[in-house]
Structure 1
Amino acid sequence: MFDNLSDKLDKAFHILKGHGKITEVNVADTLKEVRRALLDADVNFKIAKDFTSRVKDKAIGQDVLTTLQPGQLMVKLVKDELTELMGGDAAGVNLSGNPSVILMSGLQGSGKTTFSGKLANFLKTKKNKKPLLVACDIYRPAAINQLHVVGEQIGVEVYSEPDNKNAVSIAENAIKHAKANGFNVVIVDTAGRLAVDEEMMTEIANVHKAIQPQETLFVVDSMTGQDAVNTAKAFNDRLDFDGVVLTKLDGDTRGGAAISIKSVVNKPIKFIGTGEKMEAIDVFYPARMAERILGMGDVVSLVERAQEQYDEEEARKLQKKIAKNEFGFDDFLTQIQQVKKMGNMKDLVGMIPGAGKALKDVEIEDDAFKHIEAIIHSMTPAERTKPALLDAKRKLRIAKGSGTDIQQVNQLLKQFDQMSKMMKMMQGAGGKNLMRMMGGMKGMRP
């Protein structure tokens, strides 16, 4: 995510390395490179120019703090300005209605229908809501079926009228259905349209007027960069939406849309899509995104994802097993499954400070655990419970059964042994056991 921009900003800050004071000369050189990096990221020229001017005004003549180097101080100034440029504080979704009505709008192919499902799943699992998905795309072939498939996947009901070609009446009837059946959130998925298509824009304006949604979201593909920003402005002039959703952010190496869009349309980015899975949705936090762009990681988001997979009862059972030296490969496999539920591996690595930079040339696949899982699944139940049983003959059988080699099996056993010893140490003096670690994590809220 934003790899190219992060690399270029990092190189820009190296200009200040070794200087004891930020001066007009060295800051100008640095900000020239920062502006160039932003333009390469497809940020609007005026926005990039104004951005660097504000940073320059704050930086000129500032003495370096006793614990900071000039480069570090410049990074902080850029981070603060990036945070403000992207919206400052996180903007929540308005769920005040009964039911709360959320209208989805956007271009064709922006990922609107998929995101509607992700949002429904998010509100169901994270906000304890009972959402209803509404199929108002009356033009695209199989659009209604697609939403039904998504709804079935996440266990959310979908309201549709396949023979009705009036989007306004479908939306109105869906809200009546929601009120009669206890749904407290209605997510209306509309047809994709072009801002220049007067007939289609009139239709969504009519839907908006008829159902009076508490929240109107504009969904845009972040990979289209400055085009996404221009389209958002055209839609906002007509629809006056409440917030932006950036999809496919996991594939965006530039970041121009995320950085520019708030400044252009003066509407906050509320959610981002970070993958294909229904769980791949995040609330947009400008400060956290600024830190990720600058290679600082995003520990708070990483901890929050870990908390979502944290089961207190399972942690107690695990603690007892570790204390009795009974931690086996079945338990290890369970931990791997929990990590996989947290999101795609490249995204997780990017949240660890410094890791994204250190591993920038390393391709991290979503199936990074496949060899480990294959090896463990090739073990017998007894071998998974008691790894000490694994002699040379058994290892050879496991390697053949898992499609790996004996070196990979030995490497896994070595890593498992080291991890078991480390977890055993966590049980030791000072009360720094697993339960206290996890308990501490639960307190780490933004």
Structure 2
Amino acid sequence: MFDNLSERLERSFKILKGEGKITEINVAETLKDVRKALLDADVNYKVAKSFTDTVKEKALGQNVLTAVKPSQLMVKIVHDELTALMGGETAELVLEGRPAVILMSGLQGSGKTTFSGKLARMLKTKKNRKPLLVACDVYRPAAIEQLRVLGEQIEVPVYSELDSKNPVQIALNAIHEAKAKGYDLVIVDTAGRLAIDEQMMNEIEAIKKAVNPDETLFVVDSMTGQDAVNTAREFNERLDFNGVVLTKLDGDTRGGAALSIRTVVNKPIKFVGTGEKLDAIDQFHPARMADRILGMGDIVSLVERAQEQYDEEEAKRLQKKIAKNQFDFNDFLSQIHQIKKMGNLKELASMIPGVGKAIKDIDIDDNAFKSIEAIIYSMTPQERTNPEILNGTRRTRIAKGSGTSIQEVNRLLKQFDQTRKMMKMVTGSKMGKMMPKLKK
């Protein structure tokens, strides 16, 4: 995500390295490079020019403290302006209706149906909502089946009428169904087209007028670049939607849509899709995205993801086991599963400040833990609980059973032993510091 833009911006700021102060000449040179980087990232020309003009004005108006280098000041100004460009504040969903209604709009292939499922899952698990998905794409039979399959996966019911070709009536009937059965959220998945046409726009306008949604979201494939921005403008003129959803932001996207769309349609980006899995959805935070673009990582989002998987009782149990040096392979396996639930491993690593650039060209497979899991699963319950009994014969059997080599088994056991010792030391030192307080 934004890898090329991040690299180009970093090169731009190097122009100011070694400079004692900001001048009109070195700022102009830096911002010429920044503007080119933005245009290459498929940012709208007017947006890129306005952005660099604002940065120039602010940079030349700053009195640089002796403790702050010109390049550092420029990064700070660019960060603040990128945040403002993408909306400044995080935009929340406003769901006040009973039931609350969310209407999805967008072209075919933008990811509306998949995103509808992701959003239903997120609001169900994080906001304790009781959602009902509604299949209003009466032209593409596969869309109804796709939504039904998604509904089964996330355990959310799907309302559909196979014998009806009237999406307005289907949506109204679904809301009636939601009221009757106690669902407090209705997500309406509508039909898309390969291009904008009058029939499509009239239809979705009619659905919006009939159901009066709390939120109308425009879903757009971020990989389409400036086309995404142009499509958003046309949809907004007809629908006056509440917010934008950028899908496929994990792909080979140049990021131009994310940086342009807010300015062009004056509507906030509310969510981004970051992968194919049903939990690959993030609320859009402009400041955090600016951090990522400038290679600063996104430690806040990483901590939030970790907290979602955090079980306080399990953590206390684990701490006691570590203190007694009883941390075993069952606990180790449990920790691997927690990490995997947090999302794509490379994306997680790139959220750590400074790591993103270091791993840019390194392929971190989501199956990175596969051989480790295979080795642990090839152990008997007794061996997992008591790693000390793993002699040469047992290790050979485990290597054969897991399809790995004896060297890989030995390496894992060595790493596990070192990890256990380190964890005990850390826990022990914390306990030691706490003891005087407890005695008082």
Q: Find the counterpart in structure 1 of residue 273 from structure 2.
A: 273
1:204 maps to 2:204: yes
More displaced 10-residue stretch of structure 1: 111-120 or 423-432 = 423-432
**SS across alignment from 1:366:** coil
The worse-fitting range, judged by mean Cα deviation, of 180-189 and 66-75 is 66-75
Distance verdict in 2 for CA 1:430–1:319, change over 3 Å: closer
* Higher mean displacement: 182-191 or 400-409: 400-409
Within a 5 Å distance, the mapping from 1:127-206 to structure 2 comes to 127-193=127-193, 196-206=196-206
| Aligned-residue offset at 1:186 | 0.4
After superposition, give the CA deviation of every residue in 1:53-83 in whole Å (9 maximum; x if it has no partner).
Answer: 1111111263433443222211111110000
Cα gap change, 1:93 to 1:148, in 2 (>3 Å): same
Q: Distance in 1 between matches of 2:252 and 2:229?
A: 14
- Which residue of 1 is the match for residue 438 of structure 2? none
Aligned to 1:103, the other structure's residue is in SS state: strand
SS of 1:119's equivalent in the other structure is helix
Pairwise CA distance, 1:389? 1.8
Query: 1:90-109, aligned counterparts within 5 Å?
Result: 90-109=90-109
Cα contact 1:218–1:243 (8 A) shared by 2: yes
| Counterpart-to-counterpart distance in 1, 2:61 and 2:165 | 65
Give SS of 1:216's match: strand
Taking a change above 3 Å as real, the CA distance of residues 67 and 421 of structure 1, as seen in their structure-2 partners, is farther
Q: In the TM superposition, what are the counterparts of 1:284-323 in structure 2 within 5 Å?
A: 284-323=284-323
In the superposition, relative to structure 1, how do residues 244 and 118 fare at CA in structure 2: closer, same or farther (>3 Å)?
A: same
8 Å CA contact 1:426, 1:432 repeated in 2:
no
Give the TM-score taking structure 1 as reference length: 0.94
Task: Write the distance in 1 (CA, Å) between the matches of 2:426 and 2:233.
Answer: 53
2:133 counterpart SS class: strand
Corresponding residue number in structure 2 for 1:356? 356
Contact kept in structure 2, 1:132 and 1:187, CA below 8 Å: yes
Deviates most, 24-33 or 326-335: 24-33
User: Bigger shift: 394-403 or 198-207?
Assistant: 394-403
Q: Is the 8 A contact 1:21 1:62 kept in 2?
A: no
Q: Which runs of 5+ in 2 are unaligned?
A: 435-440
Q: Label 1:367 to 1:238 Cα distance change in 2 as closer, same or farther (>3 A).
A: same
Q: Distance in 2 between matches of 1:259 and 1:197?
A: 26
- The 10-residue stretch of structure 1 (308-317 or 423-432) with the greater mean CA deviation from structure 2: 423-432
Give how far 1:303 is off: 0.4
How many pairs were matched up? 434
CA distance in 2, matches of 1:371, 1:50: 51
CA contact (8 A) 2:107 2:196 kept: no
1:392 — aligned with what? Answer: 392
CA contact (8 A) 1:21 1:61 kept: no
The residue number in structure 1 matching 2:36 is: 36
Shift of 1:407: 2.8
Report how far residue 277 of structure 1 moved. Answer: 1.1
Using the alignment, how far apart are the partners of 2:305 and 2:234 within structure 1?
35
The alignment partner of 1:427 has SS state of helix
Residue of structure 1 in register with 2:82 after alignment:
82
- Deviations along 1:368-398, one digit per CA (max 9) or x if unpaired, are 1111111111222222112222233332332
The two structures have a TM-score, normalised by structure 2, of: 0.96
2:437 aligned partner: none
Given that 1:13 and 1:71 are in contact with CA atoms closer than 8 Å, whether structure 2 keeps it comes out as yes
Residues 83-104 of structure 1 show CA distances to partners (whole Å, capped at 9, x for unaligned) of 0000000100111111100000
